[in-house]
Structure 1
């Protein structure tokens, strides 16, 4: 599934993801600066989490309360040096919690990512729009 959107269409892009993602583990594949964090903030908002802050670059994971008291987790794995570092903070517990897990830079932990996941690829187009592809 594919969608082209502008930053003004961010709510529609998030709705498209939530309607078409078949898993709660969502992997975000995009270059730095394309808008992964901004899109994830909109996803959390649409799940009932209110407006949230920035990327968990330094904390690695942020937890958000969403509708009905459930949790959603936002991971920024960019700074990880090894999969062992991810295991040390209990990444697998998050992945198998049944909660939404939004993961930036999933290529840092390829052997730890559950097979049941949805890959969200985002490409910046020349006109400033984004092309989003969903693979379940």
Structure 2
């Protein structure tokens, strides 16, 4: 069964419109950050006293957890800082004030469009 020329044009046009809408919808949606889930027991295994949150975009949760663990291994001591790339990610850390022997920090690690953000608290 063969379609007439107008019917083929109509189907082709509908496919192009549907495809165009699909590309527009996907392109218009920004890559949202997703939260990695883990238990409190696992949160302590990343290196500091407690990792309180991990968010990632442009990479998997498994990779984000590896970046967090590598960052804290790079820090060394409880008050140490990491100044080199970890797993090809460049990380910046912002720490709050130390209060009663504890501080909290937010770390942002980027590699191209991939981004891993985590927060942690440390007892010193």
- The TM-score normalised by the length of structure 2 is 0.25
| Higher relative contact order structure (alpha carbons within 8 Å, sequence separation ≥ 6) | 1
Greater C-alpha Rg: 2
